[in-house]
Structure 1
Amino acid sequence: MKSDHSTGGRPNMRGHVPSDPSGFTQTQSPHENTTSSGSEQLSIPNPVRQQLHSQPFGMTSGSEDEDLLNAIKSHKAAMKRRFDGVNEGHVEAKEKVLFNKIYTELYITEGQSEDVNREHEVQQLAKSHQRQSHDTPISVNDIFKSSDGQRRHIKTVMTKGIAGIGKTVSVQKFILDWADGKANQDIDFIFVLPFRELNLVQHTKYSFHMVLEAFYPELEDPHMYENCTVLFILDGLDESRLEVDFSSDDEEPFDVSTKAPVGKLIENLIWGKLLPSALVWITSRPAVAGQIPAKYINQMTEIRGFNDEQKEEYFKKKIPDPDQARSIITHIRTSKSLFIMCHIPLFCWITATVLQDLLLRGVEEIPKTMTEMFSHFLLILTNFQRQKYPPESQGTQWDPQDIIVKLAKLAFTQLMKGNILFYEKDLEECGIKVREASVYSGICTDIFKEELVINQKKIYCFVHLSIQEFLAAYFVFHSFVNQEEFESEDEESSHDEENSEEEETQEDEDSEDEEDSDDIDTHWAFFFGFMFEDDSSDEGSENEDMSGVEDKASEDKASEDEEPPEDEDTSEDEATSEDEYEDTSEDEDVSEDEDEVVGNLDQPFKAGKLNHLLKRAVKESMLCKNGKLDLFLRFLLGISLESNQKLLEGLLGQTVCSSESIEKTIQYIKKTLSKQHRSTKRCLNLLLCLLELKDSSLQKDMEQYMRSGQKLSPEQCSTLAYILLASEDIQDEFDLNKYNTTLEGNNRLVTAVRGCRKAKLSGCLLSSDGFESVTFALQSKNSYLRELDLSYINLKYFDFCNLFRALYHRDCKVETLRLVSSCFTADSCVPLAVYKPSCVRDLDLSCNDLDSGMKTLSKWLTHINCKLEILRLASCSLTSRSYKTIKSTLQSENSILKELDLSFNDLLDSGVMMLSDGLDHPNCKLKTLRLVSCNITGESCGRFASVLQSRHSQLRVLDLSNNDLKDFGVKLLSVALGHCKLETLRLSGCCISDEGCEALASALTSPSCTLKELDLSYNHSGDKSMDLLKKYKLKRLSFAYNGPDMLKTGPQKYARELTLDPNTAHVGLSLSEGNRKVTAARKKMPYPEHPERFQHVPQVLCTDGLCGRCYWEVNWSDCNTIEDVRGAIGVAYKCLQRKGISTSTMLGLNDMSWSLCIGYIGDDGDGDGDGGMDGFNIFGSKVVSPKSIRSKRLGVYLDWPAGTLSFFSIFPDKRTHLHTIYATFTDPVYPGFMFLMPDFSLTLTKKEA
């Protein structure tokens, strides 16, 4: 809430100040309360007490010491009277609410946010809301204290925050706690100097003491505060029009008696030349905070508004009825967009006001968009004022609608100029007389304020920028519907049908009557003060009636650089960091003079169609550099909805049928979004507009726009995250890989995970802050997240600690967690075992080295609170000790595991024996077991058969693919099929011939056989055995890819002969031996230019794209050992970029390719050649130390349908698994190779006979 006035009552400058119109006369503000409560107990700070004994102030008598003590007491009492109240809603000034009764702690953080100065404030709201997830809050009373553990002196503090976020209230809280003796008792005096009041004396020279005395007339002796600890609060830098220059090298002495312009005084106060020991606290909106150089700011803080808990606390304090407060909190939580917007304290107040009224009237459907909420608020206001100030009691000329329209006109006119403060001249221009202004501010206290400041000067403002923007939009729509009659939508439809063919070919406008187009241009030209070229300009037609407006716009453009009059507020845009807007569209030839309103706004508008009006608004918003029309556009579109028109019918006077125009506008917005070379920031606001228009296809349209490939800046990612969170449609999946942005952009986008059911973050770069945002989302009451994929992210131990702590939180609902190749180690098992998250049902820890951690992991798996049902441990380097632990886990009465995946581990036959003991136990509840590529032989099948026939076995799915079971093992297994509950058996790639198939067919003849699915693909079965198996009506039977090669052991059965594609080879790579060998040369090869050639990265791809199962081997040569190799081996889509040196072109460092990177350029001092990157994951690819490979011969196995890419070290007697990448392949992949150093070669080995 804003306090009832900026800093309390203001006395005027005293007798020695000039009495001319720009000076001051001595009177007292009518707001000043001169009485003091006799019960007030004011605390005197210890430093002053000590100083009274030592007399450091140069005083010579005890009476003078007593004078100082009394002055401090008097000053504290006066400050308490000024700041102890808050005007909320309809209460009169004398009825103001006690501050501490309504005050709710705000979320304030130390530090500043990157790029925050260049965003619209509602977009900053989205960013500040998400950043709360990982920022450490500080108390407002501690802003002059160092939080870094160092006892550094903090002289100047800057506090930033968007409009209505609570900057002035924070100042108020600081002062009251100081005056009550609760905090900061080392400060003797606090003086508040609002910039909006300092503006009024900027052109006359005064001494600092004269200025200070004008605000605080009790300070008659300048020496009283010179030697005390004093804090000056400069409130509202964004409202300043003072001239300051921090680049000056002026070394002249400066004290409180030196006369200078007020801007110079403030400059020297901040600089430290004036009162160098004084503390200074500056508050500002982010847009202009950069006006003061960072070197003069010792501590930067930012007010983020309310976090989720503080929102609820506010409503409980604001609404005295606990049941009603709880009901309102529940209502707000049902709308994601409103709950986010309640981050702003002022919006909380509006929301509470509206919902209290709706609940009182029994209205069940609550507002869900900003336009709906503000519309209800405006209606409540006007209804209240009609009841309190009946028109008959105010005279025949008083009309609530007339007041709103005039205020709306003021709002629009000043919004176009960029002003948030208005003076009498501004009001008169909009038909508001000075006497009326006081009446308006009394009647419309909820939206419009009049303040009496220095020299009894009156200034006016809306209580919040968003209210000004809403009223501006209301004014435009009101003006539109209350002019001459418009064509009906039916007439418009029939007219459109005649021009349907033209409509499909025209880019920017529907094919409609040319005269109407010109008329709507006229309409908008008066609004925005510049001439647009009409839609038929390519046909040679021009709007001649607007020449006068063009001339006027040119005159205004020429006068832009003139000094603004004293009473006019400068444009906020002048203080705002400008964003570059790159307008490359050929159909928008618009004057860039945005800051002056031209023409007579009262001139009658010609008839025009609503969709023209809305399209023009979209265009002008797109052209606006700093986004000042963004929220205005959203409100205008929202008001045009028929439901909102009906809501505001009493204030609009007339309404129009808009459904067809709205649909056309939605399509126009989507068309605009689909065009290239649009400002991404402006396009993001168009997505917010679709949200306001309740477009159900918002999520789809947003994803389509994101696929355009434009790189998003961090601040744009903040807005996008807000859109995702505010959308009432819950996303099924949020895939961070879809967005082209930076690390910081990822950190901001990732906050949107709590607005979706599944979050896919695999392979994405996240900092600790970004990861903390994820853990924050897990603990949110409002989170819809059920599935989280953090695979291929290089997490650290403390990341896992935070993750499992969050999963343990009572509000966490995540059931599926994927941590494939995430650097999860034995140490990481400790926090998992400690926190024992009970919400997780499905956990994937594949491709992590877990052998030494299985015992710790088992402590969680066997705990009574563990609800895990699915555990994936594929490619985890497990050994016999792990299988013993797994056996014990399966035998535990607390274990409820139903699915276990141990694929790509060397289980061997010995491991099968241990595992079988667990499977055969009465407590084992396992139903699915996957043991793909576990080096199991037929010898183990006898034990499996025994387990399957056990009365305790609950196995329904068994996958033994890619193990050399052969016919012998299949015969042993077949014995059990007629005596078990198995429903799915996968034996793909198990070296099975007709003999094994016949054994399976025989087993299927048993009436007790429950088998429904049998996979015999990649084996060698003849037609006879296939026909035999087809007799049995299995739901699924697969014989795909049969042939004699499938009887080879190991992955050799899938071997492919490959050749290198010379058209892709980088000029630094030499091909030989029939394009089967590539050498990293030191000279350029004379290759012809080719579009497929890698231009900058020494890489080459093979000629054939691969699908299915494929295996190939390579041999590194021309190097002494594998430890000398620096390169990568992998696969890529054909569309992998060929030009540039970046991750988008390098094999395995993007989402178009996957690789095993052998070694890394750089030296971390341990001599292993990995550059300190061993185990590092990038998009699923992995960096490994050359020492860990140990062989110059490598094998690569691709299982395209299963989405796995495995790498092996090849030795004469064995094959050692190195790493498996899990992915979803959508196109054929091409084997490829990258060289990071010259002078070594790679050869594709020939397929064995």
Structure 2
Amino acid sequence: MSSPGNQESQLGQEPAGQSEESHRFTGKKPDTGVPRAPSMSDLSRATPPNMAEGERVQEIGCEPDTSGQDKQRDLHHIFEELEKKIMTFVNNELQRFKQILSPDYQENFEMKSEDESDAREGALKMALQFLCNMKYQDLADKLNENEMDVCCQNSLKRNLKNKYQVVFEGIAKQGSSVLLEEIYTDLYITEGGSGKVNEEHEVRQIEYRSKRPAGQDKPIKCADIFKPSPHPGKTIRRVLTKGVAGIGKTISVHKYILDWAEGKDNKDINFIFPLCFRELNLMRENECSLMDLLQHFFPDLKKLKSVSLDKHKVLFVFDGLDECRFHLNFQRNESLTDMAVMRPLDVILTNLLQGNLIPSALLWITTRPAAASKIPPGCVDLVTEVQGFNDSQKEEYFRKKINDDRLASDIISHIKSSRSLHIMCYIPVFSWIVATVLEMIYSSEHKQIPKTLTELYTYFLIFQSKQSNIKYGMHAPEAEWKKPIKPLGKLAYEQLEKGNLIFYEDDLRECGLDVKEAADCSGLCTQIFREESGIFLGTVFCFVHLSVQEYLAALYAVLSMAIEGTDIISLDSAPPMTESLINLHKSAVDKSLAYDDGRFDLFLRFLLGLSLETNQTLLHGLMSRGQRDIKVENQNQANDETIRYIKDKIKQASSPERMINLFHCLNELKDQSLLEGIQSFLRAGASSPGQWSALVFVLLTSDQNLDVFDLKKYIRSDEALLRLIQVVEESHTTLVDSCGLTEQSCAALASLLNQNMSKLRKLDLSDNCIGDVGLQQLCDGLKSPNCVLETLRVKSCGFTEQSCTEVASVLCKESSQLRELNLGGNPIGDEGVQRLTSGLKSPNCALETLGVI
């Protein structure tokens, strides 16, 4: 065996017969034909990972000693310590290299340090050189390749961590930057469903979802979407996550990636490559290979060989399929298996999804529901859906967003009092808008709280305009900050017709909009318009939320009519103004009804809401310039005609969705006859399932007090109660006396009393033929520990002494909160009263009033 000195003398010598192929692990060919061995000066410059720079300087850079003998002794001590540290470092690195070369090194992948000091690089070069000299070229190649994989992974993790640990709330770049960990609130995500297209408008989906009975969905944690399936033989490789705009799909992706980059979760994944379609769109005309694509977005992967991806667990994340502007032709695209072959982008993506390219790779695609059908069901193993905030998460968000606890409590109370706002706050971006507006209003002296959706968005536009003036130091007159509104509205309307949510510079120029000029003018664009620049790519734009785009599109329609007398929907321009305004409203109603996907539903609500004087006043005269001002009396006349037109359309509506949006429109116009009209409409015999659904929805989303629900206002029947049971859930007092009910209704009421968050305190069932069966079913609900009912009236309900035993058992329950019970008018006799006695004598009985006559 050679001595250490002989080994050192061999460094730099090339073994006989060594070919040029042996140098491929170095990345370049040195003049000597082998990797350059580190010199002592290299090692002296290197700082081992476990030694801080200050420590090295402290030990080596001591102040000179005037005594030569002391200096020599100190130098000897220094090099003894240096030898120990070098040997410890080298031994640690050799152990790491051994792990990298072990067959199960992928399991040890996460153990690699992120430190890439010169010393570590020098140790690798030494190991490679010695392996070459020992004629273990294959091990040298494998070590170098695996070490490059480790370096690429560590570099990727650091970059992804830096990118995703900070988020911008509301508006990218211009928004307030906060740490993701500080504001992130778990979202409710469910498993199941299909990848087929969903035709419902996004706001409509979230409104329905908020009222869907609990237990219908299977919740799943975002971090677990690729975990082993509970179904034997099924592998989860391709996941499609749906969710409406602004509901938290992208933030969920960022949290997943951040947790991986920080080593908190999914440690078995070696590489994650997040790509968003809004950036991929800008490469749609180019051909590239898969490796070219990855190295374009992740330059640190330049050292990673394409063959390396096959042996690692890799996750591709494609965010925003709904923003994809190129075809994904799964049927006609050629099959592709080589990662180095150049092809159009859609060919690469379809082959990834079909499993031709990197068959073992995981794929995660996020999309709005309407675009889900772009991916064939056969290319999806699991569908998940982001449902947004639940009630507790909404409250948690507002308390994080608003620093003043008292102010936060006031705002939360207001949101809870407005069912329409409360439901919409399931969407995180909408919660941000609501918090922004209400915090401004509650903090000012003028506390005119918005009651409708249009009022809320009008306040939002005003607030952002004023904030932009302050931010940019403009303090310009109102005419200045209003300049970009019309071209923004034109862009919003034209792109809404095309179904586009993201735009490019050409789209903006076509509408006469220069974002930089608008920003210089007022900054308004930077407050409601989002600008994002991709890596080495162009710039894409979008509004902060789809609803903002719909609001501005409606504002553009109203402005065009008010200033120019032009109906942009029907393209008519004819005086008098009142007639033109009515025509605009009718055109908008017809346009909304013509789109089955609900694309213009919210647009219509905003358009009608902006016709009210209150909203025009809020906009400080924006819609009253020029000679074509709309007079107040003309507005009222036009609105009255519009209300009649909408009510006629309600009678003709073929689906609950159509009716529901039209009901919303009446609410925006503040039509006070809304509920009365619905009630008379139903009493007249129009009682299809769709119409009942519409009634339930309007009752639940209206701001009218539902503390007392009286079925007699509608139709007196079991069917009516069962159709309106969701409304009963929201009431404290339910009056269903003399409604012709049977035991069929009692089962539903018992189920309601058994609910965890039951609100029902008073129930009057008198004068209904529920009989013994019905009362006994009701007692099942009364026995539930969740039941909070305090008053029960069942006079003249046709039950006998048989039911009194069940009633007595209810009174014996410790959880019973009954204070008033009226059983009068029923043939229970003395025996029935006797059976009640056991319950009345129970120490748990809380009854204060009992009626038996």
Query: TM-score, normalised on structure 2?
Result: 0.73
Contact 2:318/2:365, CA 8 A, preserved across alignment: yes
Give, in whole Å, the separation in 1 of the partners of 2:772 and 2:325: 54
1:693 equivalent in alignment to 2:663: no
- The alpha carbon displacement at 1:163 in A equals 1.0
CA separation of 1:168 and 1:803: change in aligned 2, threshold 3 A: same
1:377 equivalent in alignment to 2:352: no
The structure carrying a bigger helix percent of its residues is: 2
Give, in whole Å, the separation in 2 of the partners of 1:105 and 1:734: 38
* Alignment match, 2:839: 889
* Residue identity opposite 1:729 in structure 2: Q
Return the match for 2:755 from 802, 806, 809. Answer: 806
- The alpha carbon displacement at 1:884 in A equals 4.8
1:217 equivalent in alignment to 2:299: yes
- The alpha carbon displacement at 1:315 in A equals 0.5
* Alignment match, 1:1235: none
Contact 2:458/2:615, CA 8 A, preserved across alignment: yes
CA separation of 1:412 and 1:761: change in aligned 2, threshold 3 A: farther
The aligned runs of 1:801-1200 (5 Å cut-off) are 803-806=752-755, 809=757, 812-816=759-763, 820=770, 832-833=782-783, 835=785, 837-842=787-792, 844=794, 851=802, 854=805, 857-858=808-809, 860-861=811-812, 863=814, 865-870=816-821, 872=823, 884-892=834-842, 895=845, 926=850, 928-929=851-852, 958=853
Return the match for 2:537 from 456, 461, 464. Answer: 456
Contact 2:732/2:759, CA 8 A, preserved across alignment: no
CA separation of 1:349 and 1:434: change in aligned 2, threshold 3 A: closer
Contact 2:336/2:356, CA 8 A, preserved across alignment: yes
* Residue identity opposite 1:239 in structure 2: E
- The alpha carbon displacement at 1:160 in A equals 0.9
Return the match for 1:702 from 652, 655, 678. Answer: 678
* Residue identity opposite 1:237 in structure 2: L
Contact 2:733/2:761, CA 8 A, preserved across alignment: no
* Residue identity opposite 2:645 in structure 1: Y
Q: More displaced, 361-370 or 74-83?
A: 361-370
* Alignment match, 1:1072: none
Q: More displaced, 731-740 or 342-351?
A: 731-740
Contact 2:100/2:147, CA 8 A, preserved across alignment: no
* Residue identity opposite 1:202 in structure 2: R
1:726 equivalent in alignment to 2:701: yes
Give, in whole Å, the separation in 1 of the partners of 2:452 and 2:813: 48
- The alpha carbon displacement at 1:232 in A equals 1.1
Contact 2:800/2:832, CA 8 A, preserved across alignment: no
CA offsets per residue over residues 49-78 of structure 1, 9 Å max, x none?
A: 987632567975444433322222211111
CA separation of 1:794 and 1:361: change in aligned 2, threshold 3 A: closer
* Alignment match, 2:497: 416
Give, in whole Å, the separation in 1 of the partners of 2:193 and 2:740: 30
The aligned runs of 1:243-392 (5 Å cut-off) are 243-247=327-331, 252=335, 254-391=337-474
* Alignment match, 1:490: none
Relative contact order (alpha carbons < 8 A, sep ≥ 6): 1 or 2 greater?
2
* Alignment match, 2:618: 647
Identity of aligned residues (%): 37
* Alignment match, 2:265: 183
* Alignment match, 1:80: 161
Return the match for 1:125 from 199, 206, 215. Answer: 206
Return the match for 2:551 from 470, 478, 485. Answer: 470
Contact 1:156/1:281, CA 8 A, preserved across alignment: yes
1:228 equivalent in alignment to 2:269: no
- SS of 1:368's equivalent in the other structure is coil
- The alpha carbon displacement at 1:710 in A equals 6.6
CA separation of 1:71 and 1:748: change in aligned 2, threshold 3 A: farther
* Alignment match, 1:632: 603
Contact 2:518/2:524, CA 8 A, preserved across alignment: no
- SS of 1:383's equivalent in the other structure is helix
- SS of 2:317's equivalent in the other structure is strand
CA separation of 1:459 and 1:719: change in aligned 2, threshold 3 A: farther
- SS of 2:389's equivalent in the other structure is coil
- The alpha carbon displacement at 1:153 in A equals 2.4
Give, in whole Å, the separation in 2 of the partners of 1:132 and 1:891: 39
* Alignment match, 1:6: none
- The alpha carbon displacement at 1:331 in A equals 2.1
Contact 2:399/2:405, CA 8 A, preserved across alignment: yes
- The alpha carbon displacement at 1:382 in A equals 0.9
- The size of the alignment, in residue pairs, is 712
* Alignment match, 2:637: 660
- The alpha carbon displacement at 1:857 in A equals 4.8
Contact 1:450/1:459, CA 8 A, preserved across alignment: yes
* Alignment match, 2:569: 528
Return the match for 1:67 from 142, 148, 158. Answer: 148
* Alignment match, 1:792: 744
1:406 equivalent in alignment to 2:487: yes
Give, in whole Å, the separation in 1 of the partners of 2:511 and 2:361: 44
CA separation of 1:705 and 1:195: change in aligned 2, threshold 3 A: farther
CA separation of 1:841 and 1:678: change in aligned 2, threshold 3 A: closer
Give, in whole Å, the separation in 2 of the partners of 1:339 and 1:122: 13
- The alpha carbon displacement at 1:447 in A equals 1.2
- SS of 2:835's equivalent in the other structure is helix
CA separation of 1:242 and 1:348: change in aligned 2, threshold 3 A: same
Contact 1:165/1:303, CA 8 A, preserved across alignment: yes
CA offsets per residue over residues 755-775 of structure 1, 9 Å max, x none?
A: 55666899xxxxxxxxxxxxx
- The alpha carbon displacement at 1:96 in A equals 1.5
CA offsets per residue over residues 549-585 of structure 1, 9 Å max, x none?
A: xxxxxxxxxxxxxxxxxxxxxxxxxxxxxxxxxxxxx
CA separation of 1:760 and 1:619: change in aligned 2, threshold 3 A: farther
CA separation of 1:231 and 1:51: change in aligned 2, threshold 3 A: farther
- The alpha carbon displacement at 1:239 in A equals 1.2
* Residue identity opposite 1:229 in structure 2: K
Contact 1:790/1:817, CA 8 A, preserved across alignment: no
- SS of 1:694's equivalent in the other structure is coil
- The alpha carbon displacement at 1:124 in A equals 0.9
CA separation of 1:789 and 1:363: change in aligned 2, threshold 3 A: farther
- The alpha carbon displacement at 1:814 in A equals 2.9
- The alpha carbon displacement at 1:619 in A equals 2.9
- The alpha carbon displacement at 1:256 in A equals 1.8
Contact 1:381/1:444, CA 8 A, preserved across alignment: no
- SS of 1:218's equivalent in the other structure is helix
* Alignment match, 1:155: 237
CA offsets per residue over residues 173-201 of structure 1, 9 Å max, x none?
A: 11112222222222121111212222222
Contact 2:785/2:815, CA 8 A, preserved across alignment: no
* Residue identity opposite 2:744 in structure 1: Y
- SS of 1:127's equivalent in the other structure is helix
Give, in whole Å, the separation in 1 of the partners of 2:514 and 2:508: 7
The aligned runs of 1:1186-1225 (5 Å cut-off) are none
* Alignment match, 1:1068: none
- The alpha carbon displacement at 1:229 in A equals 1.2
- The alpha carbon displacement at 1:336 in A equals 1.9
CA separation of 1:423 and 1:713: change in aligned 2, threshold 3 A: farther
- The alpha carbon displacement at 1:266 in A equals 1.4
Contact 1:833/1:856, CA 8 A, preserved across alignment: no
Please list every run of 5 or more consecutive structure 2 residues that lacks an aligned counterpart in the other structure: 1-50, 53-96, 107-137
CA offsets per residue over residues 687-745 of structure 1, 9 Å max, x none?
A: 1101111211111223344567678677x8766544222211235547699799xx9x9
